[in-house]
A and B are shown apart, each in its own frame.
Chain A
Amino acid sequence: MNKIMYLEFERCIGCRSCQAACRECGGHDAKERNYVEYVDFFESRQTYPMLCMQCKDPACARVCPANAIQITEDGVVLSAMEEKCIGCRNCTFGCPFGIPKFDFEENKMYKCDMCYDRTQHDIAPMCASVCPSDAIRFIDFDEMQALRRRRTQMNLIEGKKPTEQDKWQYVPEFFGVYSD
């Protein structure tokens, strides 16, 4: 795998296409494995997409008593092996990011595996391939570095911070609000 997943929460428009795409996947039994949630519903309608971080040393695998969570050569943390999982849900509580889901009926855990069957051939995962606002992207490392540099530059160049007095200065231009 030569590419990486790049998430930008503030680009998320909450359309939930990524979840629909995830449900489409053959082995997923029409259940999505990613999340789209409100950051703070009482403050704004801002949503964020949430996928598995694919930790190098995954807490979910470490707290699994059956040793059911395996890692591929690319470093993708897989769902619990169906034959080993004893259905204790330790992984859902051990994960620092709250990613694994649990199916009580079928007594097994399932989680985002970054569509490892696609990404190992450098094909974008289902969620990234459908995201209309580029909140989820599957891009080259160099491209990601450029995007990150640009973010930092913009913060540095226009490093003024909005305050209660001039917050309208910071509203996007296409909202039609101008300060002068």
Chain B
Amino acid sequence: MNNLERAYSTSNVETVEDTKFNIKSFEKSFYSKTSMYAFFATIFLVFTMWIGTGQFAKIDLMLAGYMIASFVFVIGLIVRVAAWLVRPATKQLVKTSIQNLKSGNRSKRNVKSIVITLIENIFLQKFIFKRGIYRGIQHWLIAWGCIGSFAFTFGLVFGWVHFRLIDATTYQIMVFNIPMISMHANGFFAAIMYNILNITALMVLVGVIMALVRRLHNNDLKVTERAEFDVLPLYILLAVTVTGLFLTVSYKFLGGFIHPELALIHQITVVLFLIYFPFGKLFHLPIRPLAIGVPMNYQEEHMVDTRSCKKCGTKYSSDDQISDVKAILHEQQFDLQLEDGSYLADYCPSCRRRIRAMSQLNLGSVKGNPYGPVQTNNGIHIPGFGRKRSDEFYNKEEK
């Protein structure tokens, strides 16, 4: 094949590849997969803004600072979630969850586990109440205050929701520029809509004060807490809620006293909060939905194990989970296979502890049947036993 032919054939191959759209080749035009996802998310958000604000006609430029911070927030979340999904353990759980969601014969179990997790784990947060009523109330108030504020703020900032005056006494809520609910301008529902951020802010304020009191008074916590990780988010939340509530106080009761300055200060605190969110403790919010995967993949019934230990036969896990754990360990080059071909994950935790102790005491069943009785006489002298020691030992200079 001469050069001309080779050049011809390669260009031919390229044209064949170009004809079908390939996500892999599309990825190559970005710096990384993460930047591609961030790009798509930004485009999608701008598109929803375009629809919601009626081709940017009703865009609220008072919220421009919030808007830019929200874009940074979304991109930060995507960067962090992508970095987190790269980990083999996370990837495996997500992969198994998607497989199980697709398979038809598990649909009943899937729906049941999703509903139970959403209600008990995410909405009611029962497990935190078990750690203490005080902690439960505090966390629930902060969590749902924040999520409520997020929902309403993003709705307004990206223009997904806005209000329209139909006649002198009727307001209408427009969601994505589609008229949804009409309400009396002075009615009860309208009052809730106007004050929803005040309500969520009060929830967060109470929760944050409870949390700060706990952090300041509990000596056990003080030993292990890290100020920049555990306490900083609380102060940021406090700053956001206090400045936000003071805005309301200013225009309701003080006749707009230093309102423009307050609005600016509040905007600065919110921007700080949004930029901090993906990189600090509060990042546990977006990864929490992964908890759905636990009952869906591993534990059909809470606290009921189905797989029995290879050695002692006690129930300690489920087959799906052990095969997943083995796959994750294998992917990361952990060689936890024993001589007889079984893996350490096949044994229950107490048998694993015993295996370690026995091998360190040279008591492992090295000879003969590995499941037979243990050979205690292994030919190794355990020190500290009483045959007369040689004089050489006693005459040695003590250190």
Contacts and interface: CB of A to CB of B under 8 A. Distances in A.
Q: What's the interface size class on A, roughly?
A: 35 or more
Contacts of B386: 169-175
Contacts of A94: 325, 328-329, 334, 345
B361 interface: yes
Interface stretch (B51-59, B86-94, B152-160, B196-204): B86-94
Contacts of A40: 354, 358, 363, 374, 376
Contacts of A54: none
A10 interface: yes
B36 interface: no
Nearest to A48: B357
Nearest to A143: B399
Given A35-B353, A157-B392, A161-B380, 18 more contacts: A10-B382, A40-B376, A63-B89, A63-B329, A65-B93, A66-B287, A84-B284, A90-B325, A92-B349, A98-B348, A98-B356, A99-B349, A105-B127, A155-B380, A155-B381, A155-B383, A159-B381, A170-B381
Contacts of A35: 350, 353
A87 B353 contact: no
Contact of B349 (A43, A84, A95, A159): A95
Contacts of A150: 383
A118 B358 CA distance: 30
A68 B247 CA distance: 38
A98 B353 CA distance: 5
A56 interface: no
Contacts, number: 189
Contacts of A88: 93, 293-294, 298, 321
Given A10-B384, A88-B293, A93 B390 contact: no
Contacts of B356: 50, 96-98
Interface of A: 9-10, 26-27, 35, 37, 39-40, 43-44, 48, 50, 59, 62-67, 81-84, 86-90, 92-100, 104-108, 117, 146, 150-151, 153-155, 157-164, 167, 169-175, 179
Contacts of B221: 27
B377 A151 contact: no
A98 B351 contact: yes
Contacts of A105: 127, 130
14 contacts: A26-B223, A27-B224, A39-B361, A43-B376, A65-B293, A84-B287, A87-B294, A93-B316, A107-B127, A107-B130, A158-B387, A170-B385, A173-B386, A179-B387
Contacts of B334: 59, 62, 94, 96
Residue from the set A43, A67, A96, A155 with the largest chain B CB neighbour count within 10 Å: A96
Contact of A83 (B121, B281, B322, B361): B281
B352 A95 contact: yes
Contacts of B321: 88-90, 93
A39 B363 contact: yes
Contacts of A50: 353, 356-357
Interface in B129-149: 130-131
**B325, B351, B380, B392, most chain A CB atoms within 10 A:** B325
